[in-house]
Structure 1
Amino acid sequence: MRKFLNDPRDTVREMLEGLADLSPGLALLAEDGVILRANLPPYPARREVAVISGGGSGHEPAHAGYVGPGLLHAAVAGDVFTSPSVDSVLAAIRAVAGPPGAVLVVKNYTGDRLNFGLAAELARGMGIACEIVVVADDVALRDVVEPGRRRGIAGTVLIHKVAGAAAAAGMPLEAVAAEARLAAAALGSMGVALGACILPAAGRPGFELEPGEMELGLGIHGEPGVHRAPLGSARDVAAILLEMILTELAPDAGSSVALLVNGLGGTPPMELAVMAREALAGLRARGLVVERAWCGTLLSALEMPGCSFSVLRLDAGLLARLDAPATAPAWPGSGRIPEQRHLVVPAGTPALPPLGEADPVLRDTALAVAATLEAAESELTALDAAAGDGDLGISLARGAQAMRALPEGAWVDAPTALTALAGALRRAIGGSSGPFYATALLRAARGIPAQPTASDWAAALAQAVKAISELGGAQPGDRTMLDALHPAAEAMAAELEAGHSGRQALLAAVAAAEAGAAATAAMRPRLGRASYLGDRALGIQDAGAAAVAIWMGALGRSVE
């Protein structure tokens, strides 16, 4: 187990201290695991209804991250995935509740219900009015337990917002609780995981998944779900989650809803945004109006890779509560989204004029190179991942697709073809490869005649190599694509100077490129991301040089 911890027994307290250290608006009870607002009115009689939530730790940024104006007044933290004690909950109630009383928002787990419930009863005995709102939004348990026993999961964050806004509006205790219960009844959530989390005290995952599997309908405590299934695409997974949630909520077409796409701790923002895209599209395809949406890690399960969807049926009152002002360290903002995606279409590159019939040799050779790059995607990805960022395979595959998409007018003659290829690759290939290939092709196109000889092609290759060196500053021996291109250009020129045929010269260039690429495995990198690895890159071919050898090999096989 690798985690940034001191003593696991002290983790929760140290986490709360760190949060208090970072947040001017928060305070920490000296003797209990309670985060509360630092600027509460000093006279309890002037306080609004207090909204308190909490539960086991490990769900950060919940629950302490939602303490602030318009949201929670206090959050109570137990040990990891363990309900806080009755005394801690009671300490929170006494610290923040005035005569208007307190609403306790409780996720529907036995420990939380018991400890918050007993604390509320003790507080009532002290003259503090308390109401409990239970959130049981996990629709995955629909066929397993009755509704009253379902778990509370990520949708709880939206209940914090509704209750906090009602309290901030000066509503009395019963009205705040009623609004929170109304929201909880209109809420449905479901989660999916691609792996388990590791509890600090246990030191091992809570369950194991085989490659290509996903766990559907799990809670937020590292436990297995209700169903294990083959992993599908983001679109497929989103459809499963939405189908379960909407079957439960049964909103009419045209109804307004709010959406929360929540990460479980180990899912990067990139993947959450993809899932949000699919969720929005799925809801709109069903005729629903998504008034507000949030996406991020809002209630996690330690470092679990996975996510959950929460959908809240809205009326005007609930929407007003979601829109009310709120400030807290983890609250993600207004949730306002456009009715549809804004797309800006830039001025395009003018289409190539139909100058004549395509040269079949140019076209077929380029398409053969494209096919070879597509076939080599996984090989180049693996090489680049070993000593770089792993994007070269997919980048060159995109370049290959762009080559295929060029119109017939691109293949009329050599200068036109090289210029068109430069534009296509510049737009399609990200990272450094796109500019390098585009610059090389443009330089080669500048001096080559419409119907080039083998010597003209050799001169164009030499100019391309020079352009890449000038642009990036690399020299042969620096472990870059030049270590394949430079010897290829020299070999082609030498063969032609010796009086050999263009075909022989090309094959010699191919052999030189392959030997140059292989030699990079013994070179210490001096440029690019691989240079950060130093000697750790030794023994691995440079991916850029390997790509040159691959497409040059395709040229050698295609040109008669």
Structure 2
Amino acid sequence: MPSQGKKLINNPDAVVTEFIEGLVETYPGLQYLDGFPEVKVVLRADVSGPTYDKVVIISGGGSGHEPAHAGFVGEGMLTAAISGDVFASPPVDAILAGIRAVTGPMGCLLIVKNYTGDRLNFGLAAEQAKSEGYMVETVIVGDDCALPPPRGIAGRRGLAGTIFVHKVAGAAAAAGLTLSAVAAEAKRASEMVGTMGVALSVCTLPGQVTSDRLGPGKMELGLGIHGEPGAAVADVQPVDTVVSHVLKQILSPETNYVPIIRGDRVVVMINGLGGTPIMELMIACRSAVAKLQLEHGLAVDRVYTGSFMTSLDMAGFSISVMKADQSFLQRLDAATKAPAWPVGADGKHISPKVPIPLPSSCLKESNELPIRPPKLSQHGLVLEAAIEAAANAVINIRDSLNEWDAKAGDGDCGSTMFKGATSILEDLKTHYPLNNAAETVNEIGNSIRRVMGGTSGIIYNILCKAAYARLKARPESAVTAKQWAEALKAAISAVSKYGGAGEGYRTMLDALIPACTVLKERLGAGDDPVTAFVLSSEAALAGAEATKQMQAQAGRASYVSVENLLSVPDPGAMAAASWYRAAALIVKDRLHVP
């Protein structure tokens, strides 16, 4: 039986916060926003948003990739980095806090790796920041060259080549360029770089069991940075053979991932994935430079070797190749104080803690939290029971969700959903205005937003907010079964709009869309509302089970081969079907419907 991975940590849930606290103590030029534990933002100590007269560069994503992203905060590179939990996208509130903390009149550029959760969370934060008067532009980086196109709606993953984009954009901003000019340089850099990785081991998430997916003597080719399976498994080969394969894949004229041809000038990055000795990285570097010059006819102008964007303790490396011109070389050579480029600190130790800036509206709302009514109506009692049953259903299948997710992604779906469910149960005791269905749905979204990272958190928040918008115009007494069905339909439409998925994409929508369809059909046919609810929950379960035979077209599972997914249900769909079914059955029980 696999054993839990060994880690020199305290609490697995506190690793990101404690990492940041150690980082800012080590590098005096950095600070972090101090206030709420879910807001993990590292920023330059010398930048104050209202008075800063240059474009700010912000990036981030899930933790576990250290030194990315916080290690690249410093003059001449990133102005702030937003960290999510391990392998989970940072929440919208954290991204907004970072934007508000450092952005001045010249505006802000968000550099986002191409993952669904990152795109959604940074996108929603960008839109909110724009509504508050900030100038914000976004550049999406997808430099993965491991998988042949097309990749459905997911596209190419963002990998270590993103660090080159950080450096180019940071130097352009430091030179005083406008926001549009900085964004243009960053976008051009993102289009000139390609990356591919190889691994000898699977990474171990803090507090979780080490996967035995990769057997003795095997290596994975074309993996991502979140522990997901690679594009192929092969026998371990000499590094010269591995490097040849990787470079041919990046520079292949058939795929045309990067516009690099014989005679061009390039820069190359050999990036360790966290558990690779410097000796092995340098051997790979030696091989890559020689092959780029002799086999591909390229002039190698700069070489960067080290750990820039890791995957926890994974043994392996990635190679990034970027087409270089004089402009790019000037940006790469420009001075920076970002510690992980690397460069030494200047020794001035400013206090690492600054308060999180909040808009005045948030300060007012903080004293107006909803309160549980002293006496619940019949509707309130039933709603309370349904929420409790749904949350407990998710908690009870946490391990199964993680197991299914490990086949297609990073194995944390159950743990992420568990956080949301326990937060809902806690807030249910005191904060939900249960006699008002619309406001209760809104507060469920707020409970989820505070604790759930990654794609799941933002998707469920969108789900709740869209349902709330449909319900809020009506008092509780006017909410009928048909109006609940309309709210569910509106919520599904919102998730599909912003996430890009639909029925058959192997997502939670494969449970919710059939449920909504059956619910509206049965209500239209005159069925008792509770009976219609129960029948629709059966459709949700059937839809979730049907994902076993689907090819993923969204999220990290879209990078995984069909063979790996066969007979494994989508964990998001199973979670949705489970809480929906539990709610339906408890409503039937409480209303004594036979």
With the length of structure 2 as denominator, give the TM-score of the two structures: 0.55
1:298 aligns with 2:304: no
Map 1:343-362; keep pairs closer than 5 Å.
none
1:231 aligns with 2:236: yes
Q: Which residue of 2 aligns with 1:446?
A: none
Cα distance in 2 for residues equivalent to 1:142 and 1:323: 33
User: Partner amino acid for 1:34?
Assistant: V
Q: 2:106 aligns with which of 100, 116, 140?
A: 100
Conserved? CA contact 1:76–1:88, under 8 Å: yes
User: Partner amino acid for 1:264?
Assistant: L
Q: Which residue of 2 aligns with 1:358?
A: none
Offset, 1:276: 0.3
Q: 1:38 aligns with which of 41, 45, 57?
A: 45
Q: Which structure 1 residue ranges, 5 or more long, are not aligned?
A: 335-560
Tell me, what secondary structure is at the counterpart of 2:34?
A: coil
Q: 1:496-553: CA deviations, max 9, x gaps?
A: xxxxxxxxxxxxxxxxxxxxxxxxxxxxxxxxxxxxxxxxxxxxxxxxxxxxxxxxxx
Conserved? CA contact 2:116–2:154, under 8 Å: no
Cα distance in 2 for residues equivalent to 1:173 and 1:219: 30
Q: 2:250 aligns with which of 233, 245, 270?
A: 245
Map 1:305-384; keep pairs closer than 5 Å.
305-332=315-342
Q: Which residue of 2 aligns with 1:419?
A: none
Q: Which residue of 1 aligns with 2:12?
A: 8
User: Partner amino acid for 1:91?
Assistant: A
Q: How many residues align?
A: 332
Conserved? CA contact 1:83–1:112, under 8 Å: yes
User: Partner amino acid for 1:321?
Assistant: R
User: Partner amino acid for 1:200?
Assistant: P
Q: Which residue of 2 aligns with 1:122?
A: 128
Offset, 1:332: 3.3
Cα distance in 1 for residues equivalent to 2:149 and 2:217: 25
User: Partner amino acid for 2:220?
Assistant: E
Q: Which residue of 2 aligns with 1:17?
A: 21
Offset, 1:142: 2.4
Conserved? CA contact 1:53–1:76, under 8 Å: yes
Cα distance in 2 for residues equivalent to 1:267 and 1:46: 39
Conserved? CA contact 1:188–1:310, under 8 Å: yes
Q: Which residue of 1 aligns with 2:278?
A: 269
Q: Which residue of 2 aligns with 1:553?
A: none
Q: Which residue of 1 aligns with 2:188?
A: 182
Tell me: higher relative CO, structure 1 or 2? Use CA pairs within 8 A at least 6 residues apart: 2
Conserved? CA contact 2:49–2:103, under 8 Å: no
Offset, 1:209: 1.6
Q: Which residue of 2 aligns with 1:394?
A: none
Cα distance in 1 for residues equivalent to 2:49 and 2:240: 53
Cα distance in 1 for residues equivalent to 2:15 and 2:159: 23
With the length of structure 1 as denominator, give the TM-score of the two structures: 0.58
Tell me, what secondary structure is at the counterpart of 1:2?
A: coil
Q: 1:43 to 1:274 in 2, by over 3 A?
A: closer
Tell me, what secondary structure is at the counterpart of 1:149?
A: coil
Conserved? CA contact 2:267–2:301, under 8 Å: yes
Q: Which residue of 1 aligns with 2:64?
A: 58
Q: Percent same amino acid among aligned pairs?
A: 52
Q: 2:213 aligns with which of 205, 208, 211?
A: 208
Offset, 1:43: 6.5
Cα distance in 2 for residues equivalent to 1:319 and 1:146: 34
Offset, 1:320: 1.3
Q: Which residue of 2 aligns with 1:27?
A: 31
Conserved? CA contact 1:272–1:295, under 8 Å: yes
User: Partner amino acid for 1:84?
Assistant: P
Offset, 1:250: 4.6
1:83 aligns with 2:89: yes
Cα distance in 2 for residues equivalent to 1:46 and 1:38: 12
Map 1:319-468; keep pairs closer than 5 Å.
319-332=329-342
Cα distance in 1 for residues equivalent to 2:225 and 2:298: 28
User: Partner amino acid for 1:142?
Assistant: P
Cα distance in 2 for residues equivalent to 1:227 and 1:123: 41
Tell me, what secondary structure is at the counterpart of 2:59?
A: strand
Q: 1:245 to 1:333 in 2, by over 3 A?
A: farther
Q: 1:143 to 1:230 in 2, by over 3 A?
A: farther
Q: 1:104-162: CA deviations, max 9, x gaps?
A: 00000000000000000000001101111101000112245169711001111111000
Conserved? CA contact 2:30–2:44, under 8 Å: yes
Offset, 1:323: 1.3
Q: Which structure 2 residue ranges, 5 or more long, are not aligned?
A: 345-594
1:220 aligns with 2:225: yes
User: Partner amino acid for 2:40?
Assistant: G
Q: 1:280 aligns with which of 289, 305, 317?
A: 289
Map 1:483-494; keep pairs closer than 5 Å.
none
Cα distance in 1 for residues equivalent to 2:82 and 2:108: 14
Q: 1:250 to 1:168 in 2, by over 3 A?
A: closer
Tell me, what secondary structure is at the counterpart of 2:146?
A: helix
Q: Which residue of 2 aligns with 1:72?
A: 78
Cα distance in 1 for residues equivalent to 2:45 and 2:230: 39
Q: CA RMSD in A?
A: 1.5
Tell me, what secondary structure is at the counterpart of 2:43?
A: strand
Conserved? CA contact 1:192–1:216, under 8 Å: yes
Q: 2:268 aligns with which of 253, 259, 274?
A: 259
Cα distance in 2 for residues equivalent to 1:13 and 1:53: 17
Offset, 1:28: 0.6
Q: 1:59 to 1:269 in 2, by over 3 A?
A: same
Q: 1:286-335: CA deviations, max 9, x gaps?
A: 2101111100011100000000000001122111111111121111369x
Conserved? CA contact 1:260–1:310, under 8 Å: yes
User: Partner amino acid for 2:90?
Assistant: P
1:153 aligns with 2:159: yes
Q: 2:169 aligns with which of 153, 157, 163?
A: 163
User: Partner amino acid for 1:44?
Assistant: P
Cα distance in 2 for residues equivalent to 1:29 and 1:249: 38
Cα distance in 2 for residues equivalent to 1:140 and 1:252: 19
Q: Which residue of 2 aligns with 1:539?
A: none
Conserved? CA contact 2:109–2:179, under 8 Å: yes
Cα distance in 2 for residues equivalent to 1:10 and 1:147: 33
Conserved? CA contact 2:194–2:258, under 8 Å: yes
Cα distance in 2 for residues equivalent to 1:215 and 1:263: 15
Question: Which is greater in Rg?
Answer: 1
User: Partner amino acid for 2:240?
Assistant: R
Show structure 1 runs of 4+ deviating over 4 A.
none
User: Partner amino acid for 1:115?
Assistant: N
Cα distance in 2 for residues equivalent to 1:255 and 1:176: 24
Conserved? CA contact 1:136–1:148, under 8 Å: no
Conserved? CA contact 1:136–1:147, under 8 Å: no
Conserved? CA contact 1:47–1:97, under 8 Å: no
